[in-house]
């Protein structure tokens, strides 16, 4: 058998609860509030006002117990609440895998999509229920709730890929997604960077 960085876990079944949008057995659950998304929305004044006005939860990430270790394939369900900051629709922080490895998303519920950026080109994939999005190695990825209810998707990713959030603060995503009068509107930039958030 190949050597493992951590002892391999035994085979087991994972139940995807379609109504609770959780995985069972459940591993760590992460909650991200608006204050955790400092420096990411373009309208810094609107972001600060919303943080001071209750700092709402923007998304949760509920994982199975498969560890983030090399050679494992962890999974998680992300649920993004609906809403916007200065018109920019709620999103996940977004990251790039420092070890360039691919990832699979499966849309579960609600309306939303996947914005990807390789430092030059950006691609937006609408990813509603039962659509599978493929994130190739080397592409930063962020999910966006474009609807009026919660948006959920399943992610399956290489456990040794890692998550670099600083790259996104530095490079952005090449585009932002806004609430438009006729639905979500993708606005590519050259846009100004948001002011750095106060520490
Ligand atoms: C992990 C995968 C997802 C995200 C989750 C939250 O590689 O892409 O599980 O971690 O959607 O997004 P973020 O950008 O805050 O990690
Ligand atoms: Zn990822």
| 153 neighbors 91 (Cβ within 8 angstroms) | no
pLDDT digits (tens, 9 = 90+) for 141-197: 999 999 999 999 999 999 999 999 999 999 999 999 999 998 899 999 854 455 666
Atom of ligand 1 nearest to the CA of 161: 7
Evaluate: CB of 155 within 6 angstroms of ligand 1: yes
pLDDT digits (tens, 9 = 90+) for 77-105: 999 999 999 999 999 999 999 999 999 99
As a whole number, mean pLDDT of residues 61-69 equals 95
Question: Ligand 1, atom 15: nearest CA belongs to which residue?
Answer: 93
Question: Ligand 1, atom 2: nearest CA belongs to which residue?
Answer: 155
Mean pLDDT of the chain: 93
Question: Ligand 1, atom 11: nearest CA belongs to which residue?
Answer: 78
pLDDT above 80 for 5: no
Q: 64 C-alpha to center of ligand 2: Å?
A: 15
- Please give the DSSP secondary-structure letter assigned to residue 120: S
Evaluate: CB of 176 within 6 angstroms of ligand 1: no
Q: 75 C-alpha to center of ligand 1: Å?
A: 10
Q: 128 C-alpha to center of ligand 1: Å?
A: 17
As a whole number, mean pLDDT of residues 126-153 equals 98
Mind listing the domains of the chain with CATH numbers?
19-188 (2.60.120.10)
Q: 114 C-alpha to center of ligand 2: Å?
A: 11
Per-residue confidence (pLDDT) for residue 18, from 0 to 100: 93
* Residue 162 burial class via C-beta count within 10 angstroms: exposed 0-12, middle 13-18, buried 19 and up: middle
Task: Please state the three-class secondary structure of 34-103 as a single string.
Answer: HHHHCCCCCCHHHHHHHHHCCCCEEEEEEECCCCCCCCCCCEEEEEECCCEECCEECECCCEECCCCCCE
Question: Ligand 1, atom 6: nearest CA belongs to which residue?
Answer: 92
């Amino acid at each position: 058998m190949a050597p493992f960085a951590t002892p391999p876990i035994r085979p087991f079944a994972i139940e995807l609860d379609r109504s609770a949008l959780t995985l069972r057995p459940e591993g760590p659950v992460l909650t991200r509030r608006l204050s955790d998304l400092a420096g990411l929305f373009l309208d810094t004044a609107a972001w600060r006002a919303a943080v001071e006005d209750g700092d709402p939860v923007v998304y949760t990430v509920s994982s199975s117990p498969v560890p983030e270790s090399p050679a494992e394939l962890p999974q998680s369900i992300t649920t993004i609440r609906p809403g916007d900051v200065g018109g920019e629709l709620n999103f996940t922080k977004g990251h790039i895998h420092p070890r360039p490895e691919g990832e699979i998303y499966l849309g579960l519920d609600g309306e939303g999509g996947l914005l990807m950026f390789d430092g030059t080109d950006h691609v937006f994939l609408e990813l509603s229920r039962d659509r599978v999005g493929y994130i190739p190695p080397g592409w930063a990825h962020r999910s966006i709730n474009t609807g009026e209810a919660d948006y959920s998707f399943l992610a399956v990713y290489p456990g040794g890929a890692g998550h670099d959030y600083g790259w996104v603060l530095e490079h952005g995503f090449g585009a932002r997604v806004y609430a438009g009068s006729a639905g979500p509107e993708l606005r590519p930039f050259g846009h100004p960077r948001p002011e750095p958030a106060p520490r």
